[in-house]
Structure 1
């Protein structure tokens, strides 16, 4: 059975990735539109996260939010800022994803 909390969590992760990825474009919050995008994205991110945590245990929701946020921001930084993760960074992200999947599938929380 589908838990709607995971939809809220996906929306929260997407908003967090958007906000974090755009921080660099704000130029220390001196540019209006990128700054408004960051503020809006983070506001939505935390709203969606609170909705997700109403039906997903806090530990699972937060670990997935952090892990997939890290991986998502890294992928976006590759596109937006031409940053290239090295082999240890790629390995670490694989561990993060694996940890999130294992926690979600096997945890009894």
Structure 2
């Protein structure tokens, strides 16, 4: 049943990336549609994360959620807001991805 947990985790990560990426568009929550999307995305994110943690160990779930969230938001911000990560940012994201892979492949949690 571990794969069900990773599906919940993927939903959580996707909705977290959506919500975080849309915060800038809310104009301090003065625009209704993006504000509703942010609130809905975060509600879905935490609901799905809670479900995922029923199947996936907490440490692994949270590390993947954080890591993929950081990398995903960075990629989306490159597309939506034309933000360009510099070399240290790219290197740091590589370390984050490496850490997630190492945890999943070698950890016995």
1:99 to 2:93 alignment: no
Cα shift readout 1:22-70 (whole Å, capped 9, x = no counterpart) = 0000000000000000000000000000010001000000000000000
Aligned pairs for 1:71-82 within 5 A: 71-82=71-82
Task: Find out whether 1:87 has 2:87 as its counterpart.
Answer: yes
Q: Distance in 1 between matches of 2:41 and 2:93?
A: 23
2:46 is the counterpart of 1:43: no
Number of residue equivalences: 109
Deviation >6 Å, runs of 4+? none
Match of 1:65 in 2: 65
| Structure 1 residues without counterparts, runs of 5 or longer | none
Distance (whole Å) between structure 1 residues aligned to residue 61 and residue 2 of structure 2: 15
1:32 & 1:2 partners in 2: Cα distance?
38
Offset of 1:3 from its aligned partner? 2.0
CA distance in 2 between partners of 1:105 and 1:66 (Å)? 17
Who is 2:53 aligned against? 53
Q: 1:45 & 1:70 partners in 2: Cα distance?
A: 14
